[in-house]
Amino acid sequence: MDHEMTEDIQGTLNAIEQHEWLLDWSRFGERVDALEMLEFQILDRIENVMYLHGHRTDLAVLYRRAAQLWLRLTDINTQLFQCLHDELVASTNPAATLRQQVSTYVGKGTLRDPVGYDDLDVLVNGLFGIDTEPEETRPLKPGMIGYQATPARFILDLVERIPLGPDDVFYDLGSGLGRVALLVGLLTPAQVRGIEYDPGHCAYAQQCARHLPVSRVRFINADARDADVADGTVFFMYTPFRGNLLQNVLDRLKRDAHRRPMTIATYGPCTLDVAQMDWLALSGSQEPDDRELAIFQRL
């Protein structure tokens, strides 16, 4: 690593260290930025250089400083999440409390990547206690897609655009670690079900739910092809499966849709497949876009 790079790291580190206001709970977005900078622009970089070129004392010193700062800022976030979590649990109106928390700490958020995650996702993971992504505990079958979280802003979009009342039953097909179901359960009065094939992911979601005021949310460890979803009124899929498996699940929904109104919301590549179904109509006049939330109504 050349001198210029060492100076660059030192400059970034000095700047973050001088920003004492990063320790204020209210500076959540800036703290998330600083943590990312420490992780990707300093810690990862130094690790790579030392891995490739061997130990360097000056870099080791910078590394220790950056690691301490990272721990300090992470600790502030942990305290904040605990406080917000306690407030949510004690609230008589968790939906209003959560909306207030989001508006106070995230506002409109900083989109780190147009199709990726933002500060809202960091807040949601912190509140729900999702700190690690567990390994898959059951090998996926052909057509099944592994875990990846829907960016939380699309779930806020979903609850804005689909009026979910106490008579609704919302299903997240392929619910992963439970973020979608938990958010919908907190923000709406609907009954909520998460169907997840992987037993480890399902247990993780159940564990998160135990610590939140979400008595109307249940997680069921099942293959979406076999699960009884006949009471569902609103379904969500973040591309949990494709090909024949997706078609099989859509055929079942189509049979049930004759009996009652049904809304299907999708995100990701499965949107383009669902848009091909002649029994569903995409809400709004736009073309289906796999980078946005799509909402389909039964015709």
Ligand X SMILES: C[S@@+](CC[C@H](N)C(=O)[O-])C[C@H]1O[C@@H](n2cnc3c(N)ncnc32)[C@H](O)[C@@H]1O
Work out whether 147 is an interface residue with ligand X (CB under 6 A): yes
What pairs with residue 236 in β-bridges?
A: 172, 265
Work out whether 273 is an interface residue with ligand X (CB under 6 A): no
Total residues belonging to the chain: 299
At closest approach, how far in Å is the CB of 273 from ligand X?
A: 14
Query: Quick one: 17 or 290, whose CB is closer to ligand X?
Result: 290
What is the C-alpha to C-alpha distance for residues 194 and 175, in angstroms, rounded to an integer?
5
Work out whether 213 is an interface residue with ligand X (CB under 6 A): no
Work out whether 198 is an interface residue with ligand X (CB under 6 A): yes
Work out whether 240 is an interface residue with ligand X (CB under 6 A): yes
Work out whether 201 is an interface residue with ligand X (CB under 6 A): yes
Residue of the chain from 171, 204, 219, 241 that contacts ligand X (CB under 6 A): 241
Work out whether 179 is an interface residue with ligand X (CB under 6 A): yes
Residue of the chain from 29, 109, 174, 185 that contacts ligand X (CB under 6 A): 174
At closest approach, how far in Å is the CB of 63 from ligand X?
A: 34
Contact 98, 116 (CB under 8 A): no
Residue of the chain from 42, 123, 144, 186 that contacts ligand X (CB under 6 A): 144
Query: Quick one: 218 or 225, whose CB is closer to ligand X?
Result: 225
Token pair in block for residue 55: 């130990």
Residue of the chain from 97, 101, 150, 263 that contacts ligand X (CB under 6 A): 150
* Residue 214-233 contact track with ligand X, rule CB under 6 A, x = bound: ---------xxx--------
Here the contacts of 159-165 (C-beta below 8 Å, separation 24 or greater) are: 159/183, 159/184, 159/187, 159/188, 161/283, 161/293, 161/295, 162/234, 162/263, 162/265, 162/295, 164/188, 164/189, 164/190, 164/234, 165/189, 165/190
Contact 232, 169 (CB under 8 A): yes
What is the C-alpha to C-alpha distance for residues 51 and 44, in angstroms, rounded to an integer?
10
Using CB under 6 A, count the residues that bind ligand X. Answer: 26
| Region for residue 59 given its phi and psi (left: phi exceeds 0; alpha: psi -120 to 50; beta: otherwise) | alpha
Work out whether 121 is an interface residue with ligand X (CB under 6 A): no
CA angle, 296 as apex, 292 and 299 as ends, to 5°?
A: 160
Q: Which residues bind ligand X (CB under 6 A)?
A: 144-150, 172, 174-176, 179-180, 195-198, 201, 223-225, 238-241, 245
